[in-house]
Chain A
């Protein structure tokens, strides 16, 4: 019996065909012979992925819109009670989301006038917090304020995505379908340059922490 050791496996030249269920595996066959079929499958898969992703986005929008309609049955006062008292969302975040001042929110809590658009935006964030809860995120209002686990120097919170209008990406991160980086790549391609802090916190050696410009 003769033992031959292949020191460099012909890996790239003989990919196993048997991954394809319709082909009888013959290692001696040049894989390029069926390349045209695999290329076609890749094209089809890419088209399918595009269609499914579009469908998924549509479904999320429809789901959130339906939940928002349900929440909008509450008055502005009732929505503020849910967001501020039940969910623990800060008044400043609520005001930012509603695109008004904190004092305007204070007036609403006391029965002051608001517009249908204000009511709708409050209903939408209340619906979003419900949605996040269903994805096993406890205390979703606090989660929105947490910083994403990004490399040192980057400070991005779920709220930042929300305020920038990237609800779709935020839902994908919450559902763990997408990484934070990939959502940022899609929504803000320059984020690695624009969102990096020029300063860093360091241990100053005197028992205190200090801030200094980050080395480039």
Chain B
């Protein structure tokens, strides 16, 4: 449990995602295995959407190569949780995140369904990502107006060009969590469309406008120490990644925003 941990009444959380990336698994191209997984998850994610995704690989010179990829997307009836899986990874996302145990329960269920279908690949990477979109009841005309709402260190970088009007401010910091674990923290003062969109229904659909994004992406890789997919190992990794992600979020916000997320007016 990390310092200042708190469940807010009005959380800024837009999306929580966990991705398990694994070695190419041709069994996940076969309908028999896919059907087994879909049936096993039927009670939680009953809506099935097969779709073609298009991935773009950018090579030297900026030349982009496209490749079609067959994906299967399962969602719940409320359309607030989705599982997207292909032959190299699956991603579970939730826009109605309640708490971490409920989230890991879902991951355990998914891993169990995959393993029970006879698909037991070597895991290459597990990632846990929290994306917050902070909106405040105050006119935000530029990145500097976020002072007081987010930690000063996320705003102060603008001052390097204080002779000019800052229009957008963003940053990426990569941290090591020791061993093969790491954390990428992206942040930005944005004025525009929400970062989280797509298929899932959000608690509230925000209008385009100014908001501050906190994108905390904790991960572990297994290139040197292979791990076979199992519900227990995936959950154990997610638990290890959860606290650093929470710590960073708490350090990024202020008491003023905490008050706002508790349902106050942010004063």
Show the binding face of A for B, using Cβ within 8 Å: 1-6, 9-16, 18-19, 21-30, 32-34, 36-38, 41-42, 45-46, 48-49, 52
A183 nearest CB across to chain B (Å): 16
Kindly list chain A residues whose C-beta atoms are within 8 Å of the C-beta of B46: 1-2
Kindly list chain B residues whose C-beta atoms are within 8 Å of the C-beta of A19: 55-57
A33 nearest CB across to chain B (Å): 5
Cβ–Cβ contact B127 & A9, under 8 A: no
Interface SS of B by simple majority: strand
Cβ–Cβ contact B61 & A46, under 8 A: yes
Name the residue among A9, A13, A14, A24 with the largest chain B CB count within 10 angstroms. Answer: A24
Cβ–Cβ contact A24 & B194, under 8 A: no
Kindly list chain B residues whose C-beta atoms are within 8 Å of the C-beta of A38: 58
Kindly list chain A residues whose C-beta atoms are within 8 Å of the C-beta of B47: 1-2, 4
Cβ-closest 8 pairs across A and B: A24-B127, A26-B17, A11-B54, A28-B198, A9-B52, A6-B51, A24-B129, A42-B62
Which of B152-160, B211-219, B258-266 sits within the interface?
B211-219
Q: Take A5-B50, A18-B88 as given contacts and tell me if A28 and B93 are in contact as well, using a CB distance cutoff of 8 Å.
A: yes
Name the residue among A4, A30, A33 with the largest chain B CB count within 10 angstroms. Answer: A33
A53 nearest CB across to chain B (Å): 9
Q: CA of A49 to CA of B63 in the docked complex: distance in angstroms? A: 11
The 8 A CB mask of B63-77 against A (1 = contact, 0 = none) is 000001100010000
Name the residue among A3, A15, A16, A41 with the largest chain B CB count within 10 angstroms. Answer: A16
B209 nearest CB across to chain A (Å): 15
B91 at the interface (CB under 8 A from A): yes
Kindly list chain B residues whose C-beta atoms are within 8 Å of the C-beta of A3: 48-50
Cβ–Cβ contact A6 & B89, under 8 A: no
Kindly list chain A residues whose C-beta atoms are within 8 Å of the C-beta of B95: 28
B196 at the interface (CB under 8 A from A): yes
Cβ–Cβ contact A6 & B172, under 8 A: no
Q: Take A15-B54, A16-B55, A19-B55 as given contacts and tell me if A26 and B93 are in contact as well, using a CB distance cutoff of 8 Å.
A: yes
Cβ–Cβ contact A12 & B54, under 8 A: yes
Kindly list chain A residues whose C-beta atoms are within 8 Å of the C-beta of B172: 37
B4 at the interface (CB under 8 A from A): no
Kindly list chain B residues whose C-beta atoms are within 8 Å of the C-beta of A15: 53-56
Q: CA of A25 to CA of B51 in the docked complex: distance in angstroms? A: 16
Q: CA of A32 to CA of B186 in the docked complex: distance in angstroms? A: 13
Kindly list chain B residues whose C-beta atoms are within 8 Å of the C-beta of A2: 46-48
B23 at the interface (CB under 8 A from A): no
17 contacts between A and B (CB under 8 A): A1-B39, A9-B52, A18-B88, A18-B89, A19-B57, A23-B127, A25-B19, A26-B15, A27-B53, A27-B84, A28-B15, A28-B198, A30-B193, A34-B186, A45-B59, A46-B61, A48-B60
Cβ–Cβ contact B196 & A29, under 8 A: yes
Q: Take A9-B54, A11-B53 as given contacts and tell me if A28 and B200 are in contact as well, using a CB distance cutoff of 8 Å.
A: yes
